[in-house]
Amino acid sequence: MVLKWAFELFSALNRRRPARKKAIINGKRMHIQPVQPESLTQISALAQRSKAHWGYSAEFMAQCQGELTYSVAQLQDPLAHFFAATIECRPVGFYVLVGLDEQRVELEALFVDPAYFGRGLGKRLWQHAVELGCALGYKSMLIHSDPFAEPFYLHMGAKRIGQRPSASIPGRQLPLLEMDLAPPVTKTKEDP
Protein backbone atom coordinates (compact mmCIF):
# COMPACT_ATOMS: atom_id res chain seq x y z
CA MET A 1 0.00 0.00 0.00
CA VAL A 2 2.73 2.49 1.00
CA LEU A 3 4.85 1.56 -2.03
CA LYS A 4 1.87 2.08 -4.32
CA TRP A 5 1.27 5.52 -2.76
CA ALA A 6 4.97 6.40 -3.17
CA PHE A 7 4.92 5.31 -6.80
CA GLU A 8 1.78 7.38 -7.47
CA LEU A 9 3.36 10.42 -5.79
CA PHE A 10 6.55 9.89 -7.80
CA SER A 11 4.51 9.66 -11.02
CA ALA A 12 2.62 12.84 -10.15
CA LEU A 13 5.90 14.67 -9.48
CA ASN A 14 7.26 13.60 -12.85
CA ARG A 15 4.12 14.82 -14.64
CA ARG A 16 4.33 18.27 -12.98
CA ARG A 17 8.07 18.67 -13.44
CA PRO A 18 9.39 20.39 -16.57
CA ALA A 19 11.12 18.09 -19.03
CA ARG A 20 14.78 17.52 -18.21
CA LYS A 21 17.65 16.28 -20.26
CA LYS A 22 18.04 12.54 -20.12
CA ALA A 23 20.35 11.51 -17.30
CA ILE A 24 23.19 9.61 -18.93
CA ILE A 25 26.01 8.47 -16.66
CA ASN A 26 28.95 6.49 -18.03
CA GLY A 27 26.99 6.15 -21.27
CA LYS A 28 24.04 4.52 -19.51
CA ARG A 29 20.58 5.86 -18.69
CA MET A 30 19.93 6.64 -15.01
CA HIS A 31 16.46 6.55 -13.41
CA ILE A 32 15.29 7.70 -9.98
CA GLN A 33 12.52 5.49 -8.64
CA PRO A 34 11.08 4.22 -5.35
CA VAL A 35 13.20 1.61 -3.59
CA GLN A 36 11.71 -1.87 -3.66
CA PRO A 37 12.08 -4.35 -0.75
CA GLU A 38 14.31 -6.62 -2.83
CA SER A 39 16.83 -3.74 -3.19
CA LEU A 40 17.34 -3.14 0.55
CA THR A 41 20.40 -5.40 0.75
CA GLN A 42 21.95 -3.60 -2.22
CA ILE A 43 21.32 -0.10 -0.85
CA SER A 44 22.61 -1.12 2.59
CA ALA A 45 25.85 -2.37 1.00
CA LEU A 46 26.03 0.79 -1.12
CA ALA A 47 25.69 2.98 2.01
CA GLN A 48 28.52 1.09 3.68
CA ARG A 49 30.81 1.36 0.59
CA SER A 50 30.05 5.06 0.29
CA LYS A 51 30.80 5.79 3.96
CA ALA A 52 33.97 3.63 3.92
CA HIS A 53 35.23 5.64 0.94
CA TRP A 54 36.19 8.44 3.34
CA GLY A 55 38.86 6.29 4.98
CA TYR A 56 37.06 5.31 8.17
CA SER A 57 38.60 2.38 10.05
CA ALA A 58 37.10 -1.12 10.02
CA GLU A 59 36.20 -0.67 13.70
CA PHE A 60 34.39 2.61 12.96
CA MET A 61 32.51 1.01 10.06
CA ALA A 62 31.48 -1.94 12.24
CA GLN A 63 29.97 0.53 14.74
CA CYS A 64 28.01 2.19 11.91
CA GLN A 65 26.72 -1.02 10.33
CA GLY A 66 23.35 -0.99 12.12
CA GLU A 67 22.68 2.61 11.14
CA LEU A 68 23.61 1.86 7.51
CA THR A 69 21.44 -1.25 7.19
CA TYR A 70 17.90 -0.66 5.96
CA SER A 71 14.90 -2.86 6.75
CA VAL A 72 11.48 -3.55 5.27
CA ALA A 73 9.94 -1.93 8.38
CA GLN A 74 11.82 1.31 7.63
CA LEU A 75 10.80 1.14 3.97
CA GLN A 76 7.15 0.67 4.93
CA ASP A 77 7.09 3.52 7.46
CA PRO A 78 4.38 5.88 6.13
CA LEU A 79 6.58 8.90 6.95
CA ALA A 80 9.62 7.53 5.08
CA HIS A 81 10.36 8.01 1.39
CA PHE A 82 13.12 5.85 -0.15
CA PHE A 83 14.27 6.63 -3.70
CA ALA A 84 17.16 5.08 -5.61
CA ALA A 85 19.09 6.15 -8.67
CA THR A 86 19.45 3.06 -10.81
CA ILE A 87 21.48 2.18 -13.87
CA GLU A 88 20.53 -1.05 -15.62
CA CYS A 89 18.21 -1.87 -12.67
CA ARG A 90 21.10 -1.66 -10.15
CA PRO A 91 21.10 1.00 -7.40
CA VAL A 92 24.03 3.42 -7.74
CA GLY A 93 22.76 5.95 -5.21
CA PHE A 94 19.77 6.57 -2.97
CA TYR A 95 18.20 8.89 -0.45
CA VAL A 96 15.77 8.58 2.43
CA LEU A 97 13.41 11.37 3.57
CA VAL A 98 11.53 10.96 6.85
CA GLY A 99 8.77 13.32 7.95
CA LEU A 100 9.38 14.77 11.42
CA ASP A 101 6.21 16.86 11.78
CA GLU A 102 3.89 18.85 9.51
CA GLN A 103 6.57 21.43 8.71
CA ARG A 104 9.87 19.51 8.70
CA VAL A 105 11.33 16.51 6.96
CA GLU A 106 14.77 14.99 7.53
CA LEU A 107 17.14 13.84 4.82
CA GLU A 108 18.10 10.75 6.76
CA ALA A 109 20.44 9.39 4.10
CA LEU A 110 21.91 10.32 0.74
CA PHE A 111 24.58 7.95 -0.56
CA VAL A 112 26.27 7.52 -3.92
CA ASP A 113 28.31 4.49 -4.91
CA PRO A 114 31.98 5.65 -4.92
CA ALA A 115 32.33 4.36 -8.49
CA TYR A 116 29.92 7.18 -9.49
CA PHE A 117 31.39 10.05 -7.45
CA GLY A 118 31.90 13.27 -9.42
CA ARG A 119 29.32 12.53 -12.11
CA GLY A 120 26.44 14.67 -10.82
CA LEU A 121 24.52 11.80 -9.29
CA GLY A 122 24.50 13.27 -5.77
CA LYS A 123 23.21 16.56 -7.14
CA ARG A 124 20.40 14.81 -9.02
CA LEU A 125 19.38 12.85 -5.91
CA TRP A 126 19.51 16.06 -3.83
CA GLN A 127 17.30 17.92 -6.32
CA HIS A 128 14.83 15.04 -6.37
CA ALA A 129 14.71 14.99 -2.55
CA VAL A 130 14.13 18.77 -2.39
CA GLU A 131 11.38 18.58 -5.02
CA LEU A 132 9.72 15.71 -3.17
CA GLY A 133 9.92 17.56 0.17
CA CYS A 134 8.29 20.62 -1.44
CA ALA A 135 5.61 18.51 -3.17
CA LEU A 136 4.76 16.89 0.17
CA GLY A 137 4.25 20.34 1.69
CA TYR A 138 7.25 20.48 4.04
CA LYS A 139 8.76 23.90 4.74
CA SER A 140 12.26 22.82 5.76
CA MET A 141 14.58 19.84 5.54
CA LEU A 142 17.04 18.86 8.27
CA ILE A 143 20.25 17.08 7.35
CA HIS A 144 22.24 15.11 9.93
CA SER A 145 25.47 15.10 7.92
CA ASP A 146 28.72 13.21 7.89
CA PRO A 147 31.55 15.78 8.19
CA PHE A 148 32.87 14.77 4.75
CA ALA A 149 29.44 15.40 3.16
CA GLU A 150 28.85 18.79 4.80
CA PRO A 151 30.57 20.82 2.02
CA PHE A 152 28.25 19.20 -0.56
CA TYR A 153 25.12 20.18 1.40
CA LEU A 154 26.41 23.72 1.98
CA HIS A 155 27.11 24.03 -1.75
CA MET A 156 23.55 22.86 -2.47
CA GLY A 157 22.12 25.69 -0.33
CA ALA A 158 21.74 24.17 3.14
CA LYS A 159 22.89 26.15 6.18
CA ARG A 160 24.60 24.78 9.27
CA ILE A 161 22.41 25.27 12.34
CA GLY A 162 24.34 23.26 14.93
CA GLN A 163 25.41 19.73 15.66
CA ARG A 164 23.87 16.49 16.85
CA PRO A 165 25.29 13.36 18.47
CA SER A 166 26.06 10.41 16.22
CA ALA A 167 23.61 7.53 16.49
CA SER A 168 26.49 5.05 16.11
CA ILE A 169 29.59 6.50 17.78
CA PRO A 170 29.26 7.64 21.43
CA GLY A 171 30.67 11.14 21.99
CA ARG A 172 30.91 11.97 18.27
CA GLN A 173 29.14 15.16 17.16
CA LEU A 174 27.95 15.58 13.58
CA PRO A 175 26.96 18.68 11.62
CA LEU A 176 23.25 19.53 11.63
CA LEU A 177 22.11 21.51 8.60
CA GLU A 178 18.81 22.90 7.37
CA MET A 179 17.45 23.63 3.91
CA ASP A 180 14.51 25.99 3.43
CA LEU A 181 11.92 24.32 1.21
CA ALA A 182 9.43 27.19 1.14
CA PRO A 183 9.09 28.74 -2.31
CA PRO A 184 10.54 32.25 -2.54
CA VAL A 185 8.05 35.05 -1.97
CA THR A 186 7.64 37.27 -5.01
CA LYS A 187 6.22 40.76 -4.70
CA THR A 188 3.50 42.01 -6.96
CA LYS A 189 3.04 45.59 -8.11
CA GLU A 190 0.44 46.11 -5.39
CA ASP A 191 2.88 45.16 -2.59
CA PRO A 192 4.52 48.13 -0.83
Which residue segments constitute the domains of the chain, with CATH numbers given? 2-15+23-180 (3.40.630.30)
Residue 18 and residue 76: Cα distance in Å, rounded? 29
**Residue 142 CB neighbours (<10 A):** 19
Contact present, 94 and 84 (Cβ < 8 Å)? yes
What ranges make up the beta strands (E) of the chain? 24-25, 28-34, 80-87, 90-99, 104-112, 140-144, 159-165, 173-180
pLDDT at residue 3 in the model: 46
* Calpha distance 59→29 (Å, rounded): 37
CA distance to 8, 12, 95, 181, per residue, from 15 (Å): 11, 5, 21, 20
Distance CA 61, CA 65 (A): 6
pLDDT at 166 (0 to 100): 86
**Which pLDDT score is estimated for 191?**
52
CA nearest neighbour of 10 among 128, 112, 140 = 128
Q: Residue 146's closest CA among 118, 169, 126? A: 169
pLDDT (0 to 100) of residue 26: 59
pTM above 0.75, yes or no: yes
Which residue type sits at 32? I
For residue 138, give the DSSP letter.
Answer: -
Quote the pLDDT of residue 15: 42
CA distance 174 to 170: 11
* Predicted confidence pLDDT, tens digits, the chain (192 residues): 444 444 555 554 444 443 343 466 656 788 999 999 999 999 999 999 999 999 999 999 999 898 999 999 999 999 999 999 998 889 999 999 999 999 999 999 999 999 999 888 999 999 999 999 999 999 999 999 999 999 999 999 999 999 998 888 888 999 999 999 976 555 555 555
Within 10 angstroms of residue 134's Cβ, the number of other Cβ atoms is 16
